[in-house]
Amino acid sequence: MANLPTRPLGDSGLNVSVVGLGCNNFGRRVDLDGTRAVVDAAIAEGVTFFDTSNSYGDGHSEEFLGDVLQGRRDQVVLATKFGWELADDEGPRGARAYIMEAINDSLRRLRTDFVDYYWYHKPDGVTPIAETLGALHELVKAGKVRAIGASNFSAAQLEEADAAARENGLTRFTAVQNQYSLLVREAEHDVLPTCERLGIGFVPYFPLASGLLTGKYRRGEVATEGRLAGRAIPAEQFDRVEALTWFAEERGVSLLDVAVGGLAAMPAIVSVIAGATTPEQVRANVKAGGWIPSESDLDALRKLR
């Protein structure tokens, strides 16, 4: 197994590979055999952070991972999520009763006694955060969950959750997983500074901007594959892609290197979660994570907007 650098996932006590594997394609675009091939490649490349959700592939992502990780569960930090809208939801998704049922269902599908990291996928807008944190604290104490995080939270929601945890003696969110790439940079305005101040790690999703930062889409063309299939991509996005491409060429690296390695070098970033449908994509993403920009590179990247 290759040695990929690891970083602390906030103050959770967990260390994760700087490039993680997003498992949202499993059970949807990738079948069980394909999942096994991707997972085998990831483990061989030193990826230790596997990120799924009870909503991915209508639960099949968890099921497939539960199958292919048998006998090597201890080699990975396994993260899953609850709280996205599901067809058979009953009651608010941040409520204690909902969470207790959700974790048991995820553990069954994943064929494990515990998950290393449990994300609240999206605030339900109804349940007081102290109730959600209270339920998650119970799961940590029961050993079903080792640590917890938030996803799709604003800076204000992170502040509220952190204060509620501290005031009530509850387990804190140690990381947030929000959308962030060198094309979609809203997180830099307030969420990332909040993470730095509170000591919360940041795990970006869609780091490749749904494929725009892989170089497979062309200006003026309608996308025919991937998440952007059937869409006309705005010209201003290609302006930024081309600026990043020129940045990469000047330094003798690829656009993918910049998208992954450049993002990983930003403050508070713990692990760049990249999805993959083939072993080749896994290997490319891991290789890209090996590019380490200089301070002058980072300064130039920050100015490319």
The set of catalytic residues is 56
Through-space distance between the first and last CA atoms of the chain, rounded to whole angstroms: 37
Give the Cβ contact number of residue 32 at 10 Å.
14
Our separate counts of H helices and E strands in the chain read: 11, 10
Would you tell me the crossing angle of helices 129-142 and 96-110 to the nearest 10 degrees?
Answer: 40
Give the Cβ contact number of residue 14 at 10 Å.
22
C-alpha 200/C-alpha 68 separation (Å) is: 31
How many residues would you count in the chain? 305
Nearest to 89 by CA among 64, 54, 63, 62: 54
C-alpha 247/C-alpha 236 separation (Å) is: 17
Say if CB 202 and CB 180 are below 8 A apart: yes
Say if CB 47 and CB 155 are below 8 A apart: no
* Element at 20 (helix H, strand E): strand 19-22
